[in-house]
Amino acid sequence: MTLVSIIFAGILTYFTRMTMIALISRDRLGDRIKAVLEYVPSAVFPAIIFPGIFINDYGAFIEMNDPKIFGALVAVIVGYFSKNIIATILAGLISYWFLIFVVFS
């Protein structure tokens, strides 16, 4: 049973990937839509970032003094100036660990 639903979920996911690339002709999108599409990364990724920081595993909002907020701020600052992906991720994780293992332990 589960395998059947996995296959359905897989087909559905594949269609989300394939539809705009293979089925829709680019010419059918107007210039205005093309201009708006420039904003896709900025319009999509915060929907992954914000809940990943501000909402915990149980679906509740975190406290304002949660270490994740500090870790995310450090990551933003380090990322902005270093322009380096690894530095951004490590800075966020290490500052987060510093708070949970050293400061709050």
Partner 1 sequence: MLSKKQLFTRGMLDISPHMLSVIPFGIICGAIGVELGFNPYLVYAMSFIIFGGASQIVFLQLLSGGASSLVAVASVGIINSRHLLYGAVLSEYLEKLSFIKKLLISYVVVDQGFSESNKFFKKNRSEEYLHYHLIGTGCTMWVCWQIATLSGIILGSFVPEELGLKFAIPLTFIAIVVQDLKKIDHLIVMITCGLSSLLFFDAPFKSYIIISPVIALFVAALLLRLKK
Q: Which residues bind partner 1 (CB under 8 A)?
A: 1-10, 12-14, 16-22, 24, 26, 29, 32-55, 59, 61, 68, 71-72, 75-76, 79-80, 83-86, 88-90, 92-93, 96-97, 100
Provide the minimum distance between the beta carbon of 83 and partner 1 in the complex, in angstroms, as a whole number: 7
CB 79 within 8 A of CB 87: yes
Provide the minimum distance between the beta carbon of 32 and partner 1 in the complex, in angstroms, as a whole number: 7
Buried/exposed 3-27: b ≥16 CB within 10 Å, e otherwise: eeeeeeeeeeeeeeeeeeeeeeeee
Q: Residues with Cβ < 8 Å from 71, sequence gap 6 or more?
A: 92, 93, 95, 96, 99
**Of the two residues 17 and 102, which places its CB atom closer to partner 1 in the complex?**
17
Q: How far is 39 from 48, CA to CA, in rounded Å?
A: 16
Provide the minimum distance between the beta carbon of 22 and partner 1 in the complex, in angstroms, as a whole number: 4
Provide the minimum distance between the beta carbon of 16 and partner 1 in the complex, in angstroms, as a whole number: 4
Residue 82 has φ and ψ, to the nearest 5°, of: -85, -25
